[in-house]
Amino acid sequence: MHWLSPFVGLLALAAAAPSPPATFTEPVKGIDNKVFKRIVHFLKIAQATYAGDSCHIKNVPRLATFYNATTDIYGWISRDDATRELIISFRGTVSDINHDQNLNSTLADMSATLPECVGCKSHGGYYLNWLSIQDQVYARLQEQQEAYPDYSLIVTGHSLGGGLAGISSAHFLARGLRLTTFTYGEPRISNPAFADWLDLHFKTGSLKTTGYLRTTHANDGIIPIPATSLGYRHQGLELWALDPPSAQNTWVCPPEGFCAEASNNGTGINTPHIFYFGVGSGNCTKTV
Ligand SMILES: *[C@@H]1O[C@H](CO)[C@@H](O)[C@H](O)[C@H]1NC(C)=O
Ligand SMILES: *[C@@H]1O[C@H](CO)[C@@H](O)[C@H](O)[C@H]1NC(C)=O
Ligand SMILES: *[C@@H]1O[C@H](CO)[C@@H](O)[C@H](O)[C@H]1NC(C)=O
Ligand SMILES: *[C@@H]1O[C@H](CO)[C@@H](O)[C@H](O)[C@H]1NC(C)=O
């Protein structure tokens, strides 16, 4: 199967007949230690991506960077031989250009690039950001997938980077790629149709099945924006990390109305948004 064929991807999705999501309706306290370690691991990579080209993570060599100067969107493709994974990470907000895009909450029709997701709309600024970088990402990823054909794909990012991770993940999935997505401090990115599509195809109905782990933290002020009154809805199962960070202190929550969204009394880019598990945006941890 050629991974770039969207039609092969669609058939694979149809054949897989994903089961309906949302089987749980109440938050549950505590997660498996292995899952906790995984969400902390990818958080470190997502936060390190802000540090730019000078940051090198031990045992996770960077294979490529992608950048569009017009939109100031930047990210890495890295490789982890221990877990046999290729990791795409998107940087979050660092500039006024990024911030202007954050504020464009007009819902964008995605039918030009994601026709299989009927009626789906995403955050207008992030969608334009994705369009500005998609050719580079597909090209760099294809090179690495040809070199490491049996490696699985991970997509991650924090904040705006989490939004791009979410939107790009839908596109990767529609191209027949199998992947797991880890986002942190992700704002709302979808209308209800897109949220449902992500829930269905990433099987977010339980922590056992989900391919999309959306981690939130305490009262991170970015989680509740853009507002549901603007036509937005969070997709996916949420992992709500409380302090002090631990597997036991992390909740598994259904989207909307619970956990970070319900308890949220923070606004904008506050300390709980910048620091996850004690690691701040731009911290280049595990450096050589
Ligand atoms: C906001 O996003 C929409 C949808 O992507 C786009 O049509 C519009 O041009 C954007 N506005 C600005 C000011 O970039
Ligand atoms: C960068 O983004 C702009 C705006 O979307 C686009 O016109 C341009 O073609 C992109 N450049 C590259 C190299 O992809
Ligand atoms: C805000 O929410 C957090 C939990 O997200 C809670 O610990 C804190 O007490 C709340 N603060 C106020 C003033 O309600
Ligand atoms: C870690 O990140 C925070 C928040 O961005 C920053 O203030 C701090 O200087 C960083 N520390 C290091 C060692 O990079």
99-108 pLDDT per residue, tens: 999 999 999 9
Q: Are strands 85-90 and 275-276 parallel, antiparallel or unpaired?
A: unpaired
Residue 50, amino acid? Y
**Tokens read off for 247:** 């597997």
Name all domains of the chain by residue range, CATH numbers in brackets. 19-280 (3.40.50.1820)
CA 132/CA 120 separation, integer angstroms: 19
Mutational test site, ligand 1, from 72, 101, 104, 120, max ligand atoms within 8 Å of CB:
104
For the chain, where are the alpha helices, taking DSSP H only? 6-16, 33-48, 96-102, 124-147, 160-174, 192-201, 259-263, 271-274
How confident is the model at residue 15, as a pLDDT?
Answer: 39
Catalytic residue set: 159, 220, 273
20 vs 193 pLDDT, higher one = 193
The protein residue with its alpha carbon nearest to ligand 3, atom 7, reads 218
- 2-11, 24-33, 46-55, 181-190 — which is least confidently predicted? 2-11
For residue 228, give the DSSP letter: G
Ligand nearest to the CA of 224: 3
Ligand sitting nearest the alpha carbon of 67: 2
Ligand 4: residue whose CA is nearest its atom 6: 280
Which ligand 3 atom sits nearest the alpha carbon of residue 266? 1
Pocket of ligand 1 (CB under 6 A): 104, 106, 108, 124-125, 127-128
Among residues of the chain, what percentage have pLDDT more than 90?
Answer: 84
Task: Give residue 71 CA to ligand 4 midpoint distance, Å.
Answer: 24
Ligand 2 atom showing the smallest separation from residue 136 Cα:
14
Query: How far does the chain reach from its first CA to its final CA, in angstroms?
Result: 37
pTM as predicted? 0.92
- Going by pLDDT thresholds of 50, 70 and 90, the confidence category of residue 266 is confident
Ligand 4 pocket check for 269: Cβ under 6 Å: no
Strand partners, 67: 74
Closest residue (by CA) to atom 4 of ligand 2? 132
Q: Give the tokens for residue 51.
A: 């540090």
d(CA 81, CA 73): 27
Mean pLDDT for the stretch of residues 131-144: 98
Helix-strand-coil percent breakdown of the chain, rounded to 5?
Answer: 35, 25, 40
Q: Ligand 4 atom closest to Cα of 283?
A: 14
Q: How high is the pLDDT of residue 204?
A: 94
